Structure 1
Amino acid sequence: MATDTRTAFPSPYELPDPPGAEGWRHLYPYHLLFQEDRREADESAFWFCDSQHWPNVIKPFETIGAEFAAKCLGEYNTRYFLVPTSYGLERRIHQGYCYLSPVPAPADRVAERVPEFERRAGHYFGHWEQLLAHWKRKVLETVRELEAIRFAPLPETQPVEEVEAGAGTGASDALLTGYDRLIALCHRGWQHHFEFLNLGYAAYLDFFLACRRWFPDIPDLGVARVVQGVEMELFRPDEELKRLAKLAVELNVENRLMPADPGAHTLRALAASGRPGREWLDAWDAARDPWFNFTSGNGFYASDVYWRDDPSLPLGYIRDYVLRLLRGETIDRDLPGLVADRERITGEYRELLDPAQRPVFDAKLSVARQAYPYVENHNFYIEHWTMGVFWRKARELSRLLRSAGFWPADGDMFHLTRDEVREALFDHVNGWASGSRPVGCDYWPPEIARRRRIMAALARRRPQPALGVPPPSVTEPFTIMLWGIDEERIRSWLGGGSATGGLTGVPASPGTAEGPARVVRGPRDLSLVQEGEIIVASVTAPSWAPVFGKVRAAVTDIGGVMSHAAIVCREYALPAVTGTGDASTLIPTGRRIRVDGTTGTVTVLD
């Protein structure tokens, strides 16, 4: 087991750069970097690596997620709802990874913010369904506006009809304004993301803290299980896969789905196979829009592959479900069992209360259960659907500039910051307008090659779990519930970790399981997962749910009891331990382990 050997984490100012990564700081905006003139304040703060959302090195353009997420979270906390105790999050990129530091509200401002928060948040809780329906309309309108953006090649000349009509603007204006619109709509999407999210956590937190007062010995997992067992739109993509698997067996076309390398050719074969195949394809098309706007990543990286764009991903999952059906297995989520477990636990705790306290318990629980689904459902609408369209349009622009000679590969644009992209785009339209060769055609190819080398060097070193000085205690609730960071986790990280005997983490989803570990570094490793293994990952994504039918448990490096990984594992009745710190580094594939999701322990058995 780990033993404490340090009292602080490395300073970001003294941590040596990985060999070959020299110059990485020049790749990111100044406000995302630790600056020397802020050294004293930064070194005395606590910064944790948010590998839950950014488990891999972040390219310069991809910082847009970290920037907009932190800005919009802070805006809703600090300026919109006036959350009494918590402002927002400071964010930095260090050696390619995202680090966060919570910003508490000043102690002398807390009391004055309480009545305003109660008024503003109370209005939302009192009109939740109406406001949420309005929210969904706003999100879908943002998606439609993103879909309408086009990045068309510049014409040889403007059409004479436009000249004669006195249009006055043309293709270059459309390109420049289209890019600005793309960024603005991405920002709007992140504003939508946080309109309800922190209220969802606040409702759960209010119930959580009340339970702590009423039942001092209640485990965090006990509170979480009182709100489990709900229908969520985040699980709809997986439900559609199961429905398509059942339909394939019903129509006797399951053999068409058995190729070892499913893909677009599988769909063409079904189309040519007769009426049953075409009927199945009609169901596929109905599910594809919108439910396959889903990525096996998390929506924060330009390289994330979406089900709607690569049919091999959902077809592979459908094939696995078909095989399980043919073996006579049940593939449906045991929602009735989760609900029964939830109601049993709720009833047991409720009976412990004085009758006068029960109406308060019921009211707080009702609000928590009302808000709880949004904590996951927003994931589909923003991280997956909205960001999926955003990345698709960004890749379209990158291909256009590649065709214009700015870089050699389709995805090279993401090695630029978004402000540099704006400069390159203007360089492109200026060269077109003046009939000259753009400077970027000579400047960017070698510069991108240099940046590629730096990115590769950064990726060869795993990030420090934290930087700076840990606080004497962690009281910020979201840091505890979402990221699983508390005093015990910090002590474990400071001790350096050891997998010779076992690891401790957050009890995230109850149950015990044993099996060989399968380390999953990212979506590409999912095809390697075998029946009966235990997933060990930096973090899991909601879209990994189809794989959960194969595995016995899950272990992650980061995440609290209300993290996405914890919630999804509970809803799929999969034992899970989150927030271990470095399980994916310390436990190799094939090592036999025992996972106890009730106590939060991972034991190495061989």
Structure 2
Amino acid sequence: MSSQKFISPYDHKAPEGAEGWKELYPYYMVFQDNLKQNEEAKFFFCDSQHWPNVFKPFDAITVEFAVKCLSQYNTRQWLIPPANGIDFKIHNGYCYMSPVGVAPELIADRVPQFLERAGYYFMNWNDLLQNWHKKVKGVIDEMEAVKFESLPEVIDMEWVKGGIGLDPTYYLIQNYDKMIDLCYKTWMYHFEFLNLGYAAYLDFFGFCKETFPGIPDLSIAKMVQGVEVDLFRPDEELRKLSKLALELGVDDVVANQELTAALEALKATENGQKWLDAWELAKYPWFNFTTGNGFYSTDKYWIEHLEIPFGYIQDYLKRLQKGENIDRPTEAIAAERDRITEEYRDSIADEEGQAAFDAKIGLARVVFPYVENHNFYIEHWAMCVFWRKMRELSAVFVEAGFFSDINDMFYFRREEIHQLLFDYGRGWAMGVPAIGPDYIPTEVARRKKIIDALSTAAPKPAFNEPPALVTEPFTIMLWGITSESVQGWLQSGETTNHLKGMAASAGKVEGIARVINSPDELGLLEQDEILVTRVTAPSWAPVFGKIKATVTDIGGMMSHAAIVCREYALPAVTGTGSATTTIKTGDRIMVNGSTGEVTILEAA
């Protein structure tokens, strides 16, 4: 395998028109020429599972905070035996990851330290998790309390009388710093439990592989499925609202009118008002939910685009009117979980082995819900508030003439916003125009051109020489990157009608493919099509009732796409590497979620 390698990032040129792209990101996030030898010795893969699009400069804050915080827990807090942090770079606007392993001779020393540190969290999981919820809610409340307002013509007389001795520019800058600080804190909390959730699952996974030779990965995953998690609550709320509309006899109004007209019409009747009350109640916090993944300033949140959840309710309602069942098959999933668990447990001959199995699966089930749950509180709810507050700040700049579009602020790095704030405050203080309105629009246009040019080219799947064997457990579990999948990428130039990925959720179906490249295209999905996409977001769950199966380019057994599909009993193959470029909309395909195979049966 080592004879084959991917292109070096140093030889991979940016598309025409993107010259100078490197200066849009911090120096430590891009490949530096003087470090060529070091960087070419590492294997980097594109993390399009979390960051599928080119970064605007400000949006890169999410990868910077997330990967730094993920890494510190592995390397410095838990001392996870085989895994340190993850090195990452932005190249031609996309995110590339390189997991940092632990030297084999150092692994043994870390084991007792890991057991002591992680053991404390595992023993006190529920209390610590309760405290975590308080901390995260506290951060969200602090973010909500931050206000960004344009500078006044004169300082308020009350400030004079109060001897405050500061001016509004001080608070404007302080509030910006506070928001960045709270965002950073949010990402620290994000990873406080997450890596332990994966570690407990990996421990159980390793035990099963040793105890039951030949056990499929999918069978192990099924033993922890059927958990009730808050991440599914937004979708549950939509189903409840659909059923309520039918119950109250307002289904025709909800199903057949667009949002504004429907809400207006519902006010006219008592039952309509009852439905509206329930709609209002569901919004907070469950509509702080994005169609993306919370990592980009352009992500659309339900609470700000109410037509999105309303559209899903209409879909559910139309299915209910036809007499269809729209419930998630929770009982069947739990029954399958219990059946498989019992079968494998009973095959262990000795009591000691059974006790070890019980302890490991018990821990995995306690901690596993967090693997999905944190997602709602951090990526969805907290980041919804963060991006909204950043747009509030941007609106101040728009009003001051710095740029014309509220999204233009995100073309500047987070530390550059300080310069904009100071320029704005300086002009205000001196009674002269700020420089920004004459300088910034040209700079925004230049940067826009670069980002648009970078967005014309798809990212390379990986750089440099892959390891002879991919063994790092997080890389396999989360991203679905195995020796086999890397080999598949290397041969991806070869035309094929057969793709191999992870057997992520059981079941075998045939159907027509629909390739979806962004959440905005979800409306194109027709009943009983097969969703083919780079990666799914948890908020796509409401379309799962429509489709037959899911196929993704990236993602392992523990990726969100895999977990959500298992909980919705939807066949899925993840981590194929090239499904979205190999399969075309309209192709008839076969998806075998039990073996991880996808076959194009008939081209469109």
Task: Check the 8 A contact 1:5/1:494 in 2, yes or no.
Answer: no
Alignment correspondent of 1:255: 252
The question of 1:74 aligning with 2:71 is answered yes
Q: Which segment is superposed worse, 401-410 or 94-103?
A: 401-410
Matching residue within 330, 335, 338 for 1:335: 330
Normalising by the residue count of structure 2, what TM-score does the alignment of the two structures yield? 0.98
Report the Cα offset of residue 363 of structure 1.
0.3
Alignment correspondent of 1:322: 317
Alignment correspondent of 2:357: 361
Matching residue within 266, 273, 277 for 1:278: 273
Alignment correspondent of 1:517: 513
Alignment correspondent of 1:37: 34
Q: Which residue identity does 1:353 align to in structure 2? A: I
Matching residue within 288, 291, 298 for 2:286: 291
Alignment correspondent of 1:602: 598
Distance in 2, matches of 1:520 and 1:425, equals 39
Report the Cα offset of residue 500 of structure 1.
3.8
Q: Secondary structure at the match of 1:330?
A: coil
Residues 342-361 of structure 1: CA distance to partner in whole angstroms, max 9, x if unpaired? 11111111122122300000
Matching residue within 329, 338, 346 for 1:351: 346
The question of 1:110 aligning with 2:104 is answered no
The question of 1:475 aligning with 2:471 is answered yes
Q: Does the C-alpha gap of structure 1 residues 6 and 514 become closer, same or farther in structure 2, counting only changes over 3 Å?
A: farther
Q: Does the C-alpha gap of structure 1 residues 498 and 258 become closer, same or farther in structure 2, counting only changes over 3 Å?
A: farther
Distance in 1, matches of 2:274 and 2:86, equals 50
Alignment correspondent of 2:587: 591
Residues 524-579 of structure 1: CA distance to partner in whole angstroms, max 9, x if unpaired? 00111110100100000000000000000000000000100000000000000000
Residues 15-54 of structure 1: CA distance to partner in whole angstroms, max 9, x if unpaired? 1211211111111110110001111111121101000001
Matching residue within 225, 231, 234 for 2:231: 234
Q: Which residue identity does 1:107 align to in structure 2? A: P
Alignment of 1:512-551 (within 5 A): 512-551=508-547
Alignment of 1:413-562 (within 5 A): 413-497=409-493, 500-562=496-558
The question of 1:383 aligning with 2:382 is answered no
Q: Which runs of 5+ in 2 are unaligned?
A: none
Q: Which runs of 5+ in 1 are unaligned?
A: none
Report the Cα offset of residue 499 of structure 1.
5.7
Distance in 2, matches of 1:213 and 1:560, equals 20
Distance in 1, matches of 2:395 and 2:260, equals 22
The question of 1:151 aligning with 2:148 is answered yes
Q: Secondary structure at the match of 1:418?
A: coil
Alignment correspondent of 1:138: 135
Distance in 1, matches of 2:405 and 2:178, equals 24
Alignment correspondent of 1:183: 180
Alignment correspondent of 1:8: 5
Matching residue within 75, 96, 112 for 2:93: 96
Report the Cα offset of residue 427 of structure 1.
1.1
Task: Check the 8 A contact 1:350/1:361 in 2, yes or no.
Answer: yes
Q: Secondary structure at the match of 2:503?
A: strand
Report the Cα offset of residue 279 of structure 1.
0.5
Normalising by the residue count of structure 1, what TM-score does the alignment of the two structures yield? 0.98
Report the Cα offset of residue 6 of structure 1.
7.2
Report the Cα offset of residue 97 of structure 1.
0.5
Task: Check the 8 A contact 2:2/2:466 in 1, yes or no.
Answer: no
The question of 1:373 aligning with 2:364 is answered no
Q: Secondary structure at the match of 1:258?
A: helix
Task: Check the 8 A contact 1:498/1:586 in 2, yes or no.
Answer: no
Report the Cα offset of residue 498 of structure 1.
5.0
Matching residue within 296, 303, 314 for 2:298: 303
Task: Check the 8 A contact 1:306/1:388 in 2, yes or no.
Answer: yes
Report the Cα offset of residue 107 of structure 1.
3.3
**Number of residue pairs matched by the alignment:** 601
Alignment of 1:58-69 (within 5 A): 58-69=55-66
Q: Does the C-alpha gap of structure 1 residues 5 and 192 become closer, same or farther in structure 2, counting only changes over 3 Å?
A: closer
Alignment correspondent of 1:120: 117
Q: Secondary structure at the match of 2:302?
A: coil
Q: Does the C-alpha gap of structure 1 residues 431 and 131 become closer, same or farther in structure 2, counting only changes over 3 Å?
A: same
Q: Does the C-alpha gap of structure 1 residues 451 and 6 become closer, same or farther in structure 2, counting only changes over 3 Å?
A: farther
Q: Which segment is superposed worse, 559-568 or 493-502?
A: 493-502
Q: Which segment is superposed worse, 431-440 or 334-343?
A: 431-440
The question of 1:208 aligning with 2:205 is answered yes
Task: Check the 8 A contact 2:2/2:468 in 1, yes or no.
Answer: no
Task: Check the 8 A contact 2:204/2:364 in 1, yes or no.
Answer: yes
Residues 266-308 of structure 1: CA distance to partner in whole angstroms, max 9, x if unpaired? 322322x211111101101111000110011110010111111
Distance in 1, matches of 2:272 and 2:464, equals 59
Task: Check the 8 A contact 2:83/2:100 in 1, yes or no.
Answer: yes
